[in-house]
Amino acid sequence: MKIISQTKAHGGVQGVYSHLSTSCRCDMTFAVFIPPQAREAPCPVVWYLSGLTCTHANVMDKGEYRRMAAELGLIVVCPDTSPRGADIPDEKDNWQFGSGAGFYLDATQEPYAKNYRMYSYVAEELPALIAAEFPADMARQAIFGHSMGGHGALTIALKNPQRFKSCSAFAPIAQPSTAGWSKPAFEKYLGKDEASWRSCDATSLIDDGYRFPEFLVDQGTSDGFLDDGLRPWLLEAACAKAGIPLKLRMQDGYDHSYLFISSFMDDHLRWHAERL
């Protein structure tokens, strides 16, 4: 692991790091905020997964999480959203696929299967590195995210309910296997057999029997992607049918930006801290 930067913030340390990933077969960059309480004892870990076009830096620069994380004693880990590099297959003119759009799944189709293994990276490889290198209490973990990352948080939590104490999301893509802006990416990553997509789709996982104790979701009513891409009512219906408590808060007038996310960041961190 290489240290790119370490900067004091709210009594803790905001760091940016990189390492050679065996899952993605390239150098991966990630951010970690260590609260001041970690000087005394290991602290619980909250994972934040970013959305389409983002890197680790978007939430680090705009998410306004450090003050509350320092108050609550939470380590916040912010991975990248995809593998990157000159040798990584990509569609440079397509912001909904490739670089910045890994969808937190493991691709099965060539030429993407070699590098686009973001599920394995976020769910397995990076947690092992965090456990080895940081003062983290890995028995207490939570996960949340935004848009593509909100969906990623839901799927990873549903597949690993024994690991995560809580899960929340900002404007998640509720059913990417049928949304216009994500369905083409699923076909390129996973092939034409749509039945194989179900294991990477939150609402399908719930319909297929996967369970999690509860979810918190915030969604802006003025989000331009609401009706065609995000469709939280699909998640609401799946949770209701499965008996999963879902606290869906439709936030009047808010859009899809980090102004929306930062407005409710404290609420989400408190939600996770209570359950951790």
82 noted as active-site residue: no
182 noted as active-site residue: no
Catalytic site residue from 56, 146, 256, 272: 256
Residue 128 φ/ψ region, left for φ over 0, alpha for ψ in the -120 to 50 degree band, beta for the rest = alpha
Distance CA 151, CA 104 (A): 9
How is 13-29 classified by DSSP, letter by letter? Answer: EEEEEEEEETTTTEEEE
147 noted as active-site residue: yes
Distance CA 193, CA 242 (A): 25
Catalytic site residue from 21, 177, 223, 272: 223
Distance CA 118, CA 96 (A): 15
Catalytic site residue from 50, 147, 168, 177: 147
Distance CA 109, CA 169 (A): 28
Active site residues: 147, 223, 256
